[in-house]
Structure 1
Amino acid sequence: MFDRVREGWARLLHSPRGQVRSAAGGRAGDGEGAGAGRPGTAGRRAPNLFQAAAAYVSARVEDDQEGIDEAAGWVTPEALSFGTSELACRAVVALARERDESPRTVARALLGLPNG
């Protein structure tokens, strides 16, 4: 998972900013291109790091490379990393509460690790 993130960021860091945005379908929130209708684009504001993380993770789950690339261009690599980490923490806590298990047990189960 992190290899794809690193590869995406390497592409972004070595591309001029304008080319990255046009390749992703325009600046997030401009109402055009691939970002139209996606969460965080309403009101013509750039998405914050949590919106970017949610869009990035959702696109990864759906294997939507265009969505992955677009969300990765909304914020810095560090911000996206923090946002996805925060999303993972919140998801594990929510699942743990739902299952009435410890977050450690849920996290290990999600990763396919033995409970120990």
Structure 2
Amino acid sequence: MFDRMRKYADRFRGTGGSEPPERRKRRAHNLFEAAAAYVAARAEDDQDRIEEAAGCVSPEALSFGVSELACRAVVALAREREESPRTVARDLLGLPVA
């Protein structure tokens, strides 16, 4: 996941203030909106939407947003299942119960 984001971001390094206005506008999006779009696109294996979402915010911001989304999803699922977040996270990743 991070390799793909890094490769995508590398295409735009060094552009600084010379980015076209439409790109600057896209980067102004909310990082949580970008993270939600990115994760949904990954789940649906939609490469075009993955790249679009990854281009809306910096790779660092996207990583933070995806991490926050994962935490919130695990907590919500743990409450729903009445299990600990650790148990749910390990189950989602297919890891044995510790």
TM-score interval, smaller chain: 0.7 to 0.9
Relative to the length of structure 2, the TM-score reads 0.82
Once superposed, which parts of structure 1, at least 4 consecutive aligned residues long, lie more than 3 Å away?
15-18
Q: Write the letter of the residue equivalent to 1:88.
A: A
Are 1:90 and 2:72 matched, yes or no? yes
Q: Which of 53, 61, 69 is matched with 2:51 structurally?
A: 69
Q: Write the letter of the residue equivalent to 1:12.
A: A
Relative to the length of structure 1, the TM-score reads 0.70
- Aligned equivalents of 2:62, 2:70: Cα separation in 1: 12
- Aligned equivalents of 2:42, 2:4: Cα separation in 1: 14
- Aligned equivalents of 2:41, 2:88: Cα separation in 1: 23
Superposed CA offset, 1:3-50 (max 9, x none): xx32332232233555xx5xxxxx64xxxxxxxxxxxxxxxxx42000
Name the counterpart of 1:39: none
Asked if structure 2 preserves the Cα contact closer than 8 Å seen for 1:9 and 1:72, the reply is no
More helix by share: 2
Identical counterparts, % of pairs? 65
- Aligned equivalents of 2:58, 2:88: Cα separation in 1: 29
Name the counterpart of 2:5: 8
Q: Which of 41, 44, 56 is matched with 1:59 structurally?
A: 41
TM-align CA RMSD: 1.9
The aligned length equals 90
- Aligned equivalents of 2:56, 2:29: Cα separation in 1: 7
- Aligned equivalents of 1:48, 1:96: Cα separation in 2: 27
Asked if structure 2 preserves the Cα contact closer than 8 Å seen for 1:105 and 1:115, the reply is yes
